[in-house]
């Protein structure tokens, strides 16, 4: 499986937002989560685990 450029763009935009607005957290300053930011640009993600499924994206952020 190759890189998901649309997902990378969503993550990059959030990183840029955190840099420009001097914050570091999963929700942006408008209170939008990764799921909201993905849905906002038409990105959907459904994972089927057999007995259950999940929808939406999540993120890992690290400050080092």
pLDDT of 1 above 70: no
- Total number of domains constituting the chain: 1
User: For residue 35, is it within any domain?
Assistant: yes
Q: 12 in a domain, yes or no?
A: yes
21 in a domain, yes or no?
yes
The pLDDT of residue 21 is above 70? yes
Residue 33 contacts residue 26 (beta carbons within 8 Å): yes
Domain-located, residue 64: no
Is 15 a domain residue? yes
b (16+ CB within 10 A) / e for 1-10: eeeeeeeeeb
pLDDT given at position 59 = 86
**Residues forming a β-bridge with 54:** 47
Selected residue with higher pLDDT from 2 and 40: 40
| Domain assignment of residue 18, given as a range | 5-55
Q: Does a structural domain hold residue 60?
A: no
Q: Is the pLDDT of residue 42 over 80?
A: yes
Assess if residue 63 is contained within a domain: no
Over range 18-28, report the average pLDDT: 96
Task: Indicate yes or no: pTM above 0.95.
Answer: no
């Amino acid at each position: 499986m190759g890189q998901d450029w649309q997902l990378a763009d969503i993550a990059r935009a959030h990183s840029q937002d955190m840099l420009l607005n001097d914050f570091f957290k999963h929700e942006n300053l408008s209170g939008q989560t990764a799921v909201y930011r993905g849905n906002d640009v038409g990105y959907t993600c459904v994972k089927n685990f057999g007995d259950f499924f999940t929808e939406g994206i999540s993120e890992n952020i690290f400050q080092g």
